[in-house]
Amino acid sequence: MSEAVSYEVVSDEAGAIAVIAIDNPPVNAASHAVREGLAAAAARFAADTAQVAVIYGKGRTFIAGADIREFGKPMQQPGLTEVIDGIEKLDKPVVCAIHGTALGGGLETALSCHYRVAIKSARVGLPEVNLGLCPGAGGTQRLPRLTGVEAAADIVTSGRHVPAAEALKIGILDAVEDGDDPLEAGIAFARRVLAEKLPARRTCDENDKVEASRGNEELFGALRERVKKKAKGQLSPQLCLEAVIASAELPFTEGMAREREIFMELMKSPQREALIHAFFAERAVRKVPELETGKARPLNSAAVIGGGTMGSGITVSMLFAGLPVTMIERDEESAARGRQNVEKILDDGVRRGKFDKAHRDHLANDLYSVSSDIDSLKDADIVIEAAFENMGVKKDLFRQIDKHAKQGAVLASNTSYLNINEIAAATDRPQDVLGLHFFSPAHVMRLLEIVVADKTDVDVATTGFALAAKLKKVGVRAGVCDGFIGNRILERYLSIASYMVEDGTSPYDIDRAVLNFGYPMGPNQMGDLAGLDIGYANRTRKREEGWKGRYAADYMDRIAELGRYGQKTGRGFYIYEDGSRVGKQDPEVLEIIDQVRSEKGIDPRPLDEEAIMRRYMAAIINEGARVVEEGIALRPLDVDVTMLFGYGFPRWRGGPLKYADMIGLDKVLADIREFENEDADFWKPAKLLVDLVGRGENFDSLNKATNA
């Protein structure tokens, strides 16, 4: 028996029960040791006198899936498929007792057991699709045998975690028990098996539900269409569906072979590599030096200064986490507007069925209050300033916050660009100040840039990460610079997009190329959504401060000067008719652009989709490299996670720096050098990029060097 799996027999008057415990922290992944242990336990159970077996996981969860860290390495026998086939074939019944999560190979193990019981809080699922894979140990063949093809297709192609109550209802589980001890639940079910003499019931033999869909082309066609639409260029959802359909079209063993074929195909795909990078990167961003020694300060109450879009979104995200929030505005009227903004978000939640009216009222009335008196922040553990984006305003506010906040409170600014060192210097306690850059809508977007300034105390930075965890956000550590990680990179790709337009490419072609690349929208569609007046105001300010470099936004200024601010005015780059959010192209916009080009004497040189994306990506990658080079991002993976969670970068491409690694850094550098001939100011290659190419390394070498 391996150390990861133990075996003992407990006997009482009901009979002899074999207890097989998996112990492979932190998540009981089905590593080589677990597979070996399970195979040995099954063999021992087959040979001894125990009449029924219970398999369960020690610690916080049942098996959370195959051990992802083993992917890409030579497979060590036995494989999971063989192990769980061995369990299913046993003649004596095996009960699987689930707590925490049974995911991927974990649920597949459970499906091969003859009975499944879970405690109430457990969840099950086949999330392989989110790693660019499909279930590879029979999940696509056994699950539909329990739930039918349609429900299985939903679970396998979405990768969602199914709560125990639903899993019971749709046939995945046989029982759900109160309490939190899976072993207790498993033993109780095993006693029932003994008392009722229940047989070893094999999922692979349950054919009624899959046969019910055999040849149902109408159903398969509808499912294919639905999945293709949602997949947006991602391969795995579509192939996962084909594997599920095979369960209805082929006998079990042939279906298993088809699943294996698809699994192996996906295992080789670059999308799989990118998605697994994203999985680990999302977790590795928590590995920052401050957390090694820092101790989070208490986080039991918060104050938010400002009740506009950002302030109200931040407030709601904290209310969702059960944190009491006092919102502070400058006068009664603004405070009332702030309350309205918060209540609107909460009402939307009720309308969309996210929570009920009673919960909405609890958040709005028990946890939330508004005030126009800044002294109301005096009891807050954390104060988040989300006021107007202006250094003078922020410094003035921080002077006041300093006067009223209790000692030890964490003082945060939600600025998206400004220098946190300068803001901190306005207080007598710069060690308590940090940046917490939320993304709009703040109650939805999962990214939180945690900006650690020169004097920020390690405990304060640690509290920033603790807040991210509490709000279920992904916190990324960033250093101080104009725009931190994300907006600094954003500025570069918006610039290159405007250069391309001015030089001859249609803004609509740029949006289409970016959309086809996998983003949810192109830069001009994003401008229309955010409001073209915002960029216009920023540019005006920057020009007044003395704009340096090429100014390619005259056409955007003209569109904004016509009062065309985007979706909110029904017209921007696109025309939005009857309140629609889907815009139609506007010939007048193209005329304005032509006009600007001819005034500037530009001979239009339109670019095709490939040329557009080479420039767009090179701009992102080059700036991403600079952000790492300067230590603004700790590692390349922090850039990737920022762009994935805050800027719509397609997850199945892993993030911009993973994408760069995958296409080859030498190729990216060659592109930048080629573009440098067109515009030497914009396209200076980042030193880090040049160095990495020179050393024959890539961004991932840097990730690995930090043990991330």
On whether the CB atoms of residues 116 and 218 are closer than 8 A, the answer is no
Closest CA to 417 of 538, 498, 250, 258: 538
Nearer to ligand 3HC, 222 or 705 (CB): 705
Quick one: 57 or 527, whose CB is closer to ligand 3HC?
A: 57
- Binding piece for ligand 3HC, criterion CB under 6 A, among 134-142, 467-475, 548-556, 574-582: 134-142
Asked whether position 4 contacts ligand 3HC by CB under 6 A, the answer is no
**Which residues, numbered 16-35, are part of the site for ligand 3HC (CB under 6 A)?**
26-27, 29
In the range 46-65, which residues lie near ligand 3HC by CB under 6 A? Answer: 64-65
SS (H, E, C) 479-547: CCCCCCCHHHHHHHHHHHHHHHHHHCCCHHHHHHHHHHHCCCCCHHHHHHHHCHHHHHHHHHHHHHCCC
Is 259 annotated in the active site? no
* Residue 159 C-beta: closest distance to ligand 3HC, Å: 8
CB 127 within 8 A of CB 97: no
The answer to whether residue 442 forms part of the interface with ligand 3HC (CB under 6 A) is no
Q: What is the distance between the alpha carbons of residues 455 and 440, in angstroms, rounded to a whole number?
A: 28
Rounded Cα–Cα distance for residues 130 and 449 (Å): 24
| C-alpha span between 133 and 275 (Å, rounded) | 9
- Name, in order, each residue with C-beta under 8 angstroms of 416's C-beta and a sequence gap of 6 or more: 389, 437, 483, 484, 487
Choice between 103 and 478, CB closer to ligand 3HC: 103
Span near ligand 3HC by CB under 6 A; candidates 96-104, 205-213, 465-473, 598-606: 96-104
Binding mask 278-317 for ligand 3HC (x = CB under 6 A): --x--x----------------------------------
CB of 450 to ligand 3HC, least distance (A): 17
* Residue pair 602/503 in contact by the 8 Å Cβ criterion: yes
Under rule CB under 6 A, which residues in 167-186 are in contact with ligand 3HC? none
Please state the closest distance from residue 363 (CB atom) to ligand 3HC, in A: 24
Is residue 271 within the footprint of ligand 3HC (CB under 6 A)? no
For tokens 């803004």, name the residue: 507
CA atoms within 13 A on the CB side of 626: 18
- Measure the CA–CA gap between 177 and 647, rounded to whole angstroms: 42
Site string for ligand 3HC, 137-156 (x = CB under 6 A): x-x-----------------
Nearer to ligand 3HC (CB atom), residue 293 or residue 707: 707
| Catalytic entry in 36, 108, 290, 385 | 108
Q: Counting contacts by CB under 6 A, is residue 66 touching ligand 3HC?
A: yes
Token pair 């699950």 is found at 143
Instruction: Please tell me whether residue 135 binds ligand 3HC under the rule CB under 6 A.
Output: yes
**Residues of 616-625 as b/e, b for ≥16 C-beta within 10 angstroms?**
bbbbbbbbbb
Question: What does the DSSP 8-state code read for residue 568?
Answer: G
Stretch that binds ligand 3HC, among 127-135, 190-198, 424-432, 505-513 (CB under 6 A): 127-135
* Smallest distance from ligand 3HC to CB 128, Å: 5
CB of 382 to ligand 3HC, least distance (A): 23
Angle between helices 252-267 and 235-249 (to 10 degrees): 170
Q: Which is nearer to ligand 3HC, 137 or 628 (CB)?
A: 137
| Residue reference for tokens 């008719």 | 577
What Å distances lie between residue 381 and 302, 374, 402, 427, CA to CA? 6, 15, 13, 17
Judged by CB, which is closer to ligand 3HC: 128, or 154? Answer: 128
Q: Is 101 in the site for ligand 3HC (CB under 6 A)?
A: yes
Closest Cα to residue 616, out of 519, 691, 482, 537?
519
Of 296, 284, 386, which is closest to residue 69 (Cα–Cα)? 284
Cα–Cα distances (Å) from 254 to 104, 244, 585, in that order, read: 21, 12, 50
Q: Which stretch binds ligand 3HC (CB under 6 A): 66-74, 218-226, 338-346, 368-376?
A: 66-74
Size of the chain in residues: 708
Residue pair 70/79 in contact by the 8 Å Cβ criterion: no
Q: How many residues bind ligand 3HC (CB under 6 A)?
A: 25
Q: With contacts defined by CB under 6 A, name the span among 129-137, 239-247, 307-315, 566-574 that binds ligand 3HC.
A: 129-137
80 contributes a contact to ligand 3HC by CB under 6 A: yes
Residue 68 binds ligand 3HC (CB under 6 A): yes
Q: Is 128 a catalytic residue?
A: yes
Judged by CB under 6 A, which of 67, 502, 511, 661 binds ligand 3HC? 67
Question: What is the 3-class SS of 38-101, one letter each residue?
Answer: HHHHHHHHHHCCCCEEEEEECCCCCCCCECHHHCCCCCCCCCHHHHHHHHHHCCCCEEEEECCE
Q: Is 468 in the site for ligand 3HC (CB under 6 A)?
A: no
Find the binder of ligand 3HC among 37, 57, 93, 104 (CB under 6 A): 104
Contact region for ligand 3HC (CB under 6 A) — 100-108, 175-183, 233-241, 330-338?
A: 100-108
Work out whether 128 is an interface residue with ligand 3HC (CB under 6 A): yes
What are the structure tokens assigned to 691, written together?
A: 């160095």
Contact between 638 and ligand 3HC by CB under 6 A: the answer reads no
Q: State yes or no: residue 73 binds ligand 3HC (CB under 6 A).
A: no
Cα 31 from Cα 173, distance rounded (Å): 25
Residue in 57, 93, 127, 507 binding ligand 3HC, rule: CB under 6 A? 127
CB 172 within 8 A of CB 116: yes
Select from 98-106, 213-221, 247-255, 414-422 the region that touches ligand 3HC (CB under 6 A). 98-106
For residue 540, report the phi and psi dihedrals to the nearest 5 degrees. -60, -45
Please identify which of the residues 36, 88, 128, 449 carries the catalytic annotation: 128
Binding mask 481-500 for ligand 3HC (x = CB under 6 A): --------------------
How remote is the C-alpha of 559 from its chain's centroid? 34
- Shortest distance, CB of residue 79 to ligand 3HC, whole angstroms? 8
Indicate the burial class of 26 (C-beta count within 10 angstroms; 0-12, 13-18, 19 or more).
exposed
Quick check: 131 binds ligand 3HC (CB under 6 A)? yes
Nearer CB in complex with ligand 3HC: 175/267: 267
Q: Which residue in 4, 33, 103, 692 binds ligand 3HC (CB under 6 A)? A: 103
Q: Answer yes or no whether residue 136 interacts with ligand 3HC by CB under 6 A.
A: yes
Closer residue to ligand 3HC (CB): 64 or 305: 64
410 binds ligand 3HC (CB under 6 A): no
Looking at beta carbons only, is 65 or 656 nearer to ligand 3HC?
65
Could you list the active site residues? 108, 128
Binding site for ligand 3HC (CB under 6 A): 26-27, 29, 64-69, 80, 101, 103-105, 108, 127-128, 131, 133, 135-137, 139, 280, 283
